[in-house]
Amino acid sequence: MSEKIYIFKRFERFWHWSQAALIIFLLLTGFEIHGTYRNFGFEKAVEYHTTAAWTLVGLWIFAIFWHLTTGEWKQYIPTLEKVDAMLQYYLLGIFKNAPHPFRQTTLRKHNPLQRLAYLFILVIVSPLIWITGWLYLFYDQWEHWGLSSLDLSWVATGHVIGAFLMLVFLIVHVYLITTGVTVFSHLKAMITGWEEVH
């Protein structure tokens, strides 16, 4: 038996979809800059990539403010409680129709694995992308900042590694939205705010 609970507030849904669109666009323009394919042309791709990056920075600043002032930041505090049960569920249990080991509530939106994944994005992937991206963007300022000994190829490699890590996260994220009560229930929740839970 399942019920519907209101999980995602309007701003969370706006933030999620805006961030998703910007990240996908950054991946598309970034891989074009890297030479993977040709769509906008190198100069336009760089221009669009930079604009999208600064837009994402603005969105994140606003989202950080919102999370801090509403207390929603607590939803992302990592925990190791039930991590093993979650791993067992996603590796085996989900294929045997086992019960989900985590009960989602308005006060606990994210399961332990989600919290760890978001921590990984926040502590490893995002800093890698942002630091290398800013270094790349302000390459002409390195000498003034005392960074002239940095190797641009290492900065570029770090940025590409960060992009691939974000792409892997995106692919896994899209797969995991299909693991709800129905194939589309998690997706609907991020559109309407209402999650169907057992």
What is the tens place of the pLDDT at every residue in 117-140? Answer: 999 999 999 999 999 999 999 999
The predicted structure's pLDDT at residue 1: 62
Alpha-helix runs per DSSP H in 34-107: 42-70, 83-91
Q: Say if residue 161 is exposed, middle or buried (CB neighbours under 10 Å; 0-12, 13-18, 19+).
A: middle
Question: What six digits make up the tokens of 110?
Answer: 């994210």
Whole-angstrom distance, CA of residue 186 vs CA of residue 69? 26
Mean pLDDT of 77-94: 92
Residues listed for the chain: 198
The yes-or-no verdict on residue 58 having pLDDT over 70 is: yes
Q: Report residue 182's pLDDT band, with 50, 70 and 90 as the boundaries.
A: confident
Mean pLDDT of 88-93: 92
Other beta carbons within 10 angstroms of residue 144's beta carbon come to 9
Q: For residue 50, which amino acid is it?
A: T
φ and ψ at 146, to 5 degrees?
75, 25
CATH superfamily of 3-197: Transmembrane di-heme cytochromes, Chain C (1.20.950.20)
At residue 129, the 3 state secondary structure works out as helix
Full-model pTM: 0.91
Task: Please write the tens of the pLDDT for every residue from 160-181.
Answer: 999 999 999 999 999 999 988 8
φ and ψ at 39, to 5 degrees?
-135, -65
Query: What integer best gives the mean pLDDT of the chain?
Result: 93
The yes-or-no verdict on residue 2 having pLDDT over 80 is: no
